[in-house]
Amino acid sequence: MPTLIPSPTRVEAAGNKPKLIDEYVGRVNSKTGELSVAHMRSPGGWVEPGQTPAFREYTVVLRGWLRVEHRGGSLDVRAGQGVVCEPGEWIRYSTPGEEGAEYIAICLPAFSPDTVHRDP
């Protein structure tokens, strides 16, 4: 039988400015460890610490653009584009554009503070 998710849960975000994360599926809202699905909205000038997550992350940008830094350089992911980041790969997300960004993030397995491995 399908399970209705009546609303997301707002979870705390890392970074230099307030960012909104609404988790629909994941460890917090649906008690799901297999994967997580979250709606993100980050302001212009937001940057989070680098990380080496133990999960694969699929991101689809809906509005604005997201910068994804990695060991070999960086990618600018624009509205209508997506990016896949592999487990064990160092990355850092930011929204340097004035308008910020709105995007969907899917993590497999589900996002966890214990497995994101943020830089000190």
What is the pTM for the complete model shown?
Answer: 0.95
Q: Are 107 and 51 in contact (CB under 8 A)?
A: no
Domains of the chain: 9-108 (2.60.120.10)
> pLDDT 10s per residue in the chain (120 long)?
999 999 999 999 999 999 999 999 999 999 999 999 999 999 999 999 999 999 999 999 999 999 999 999 999 999 999 999 999 999 999 999 999 999 999 999 999 999 999 999
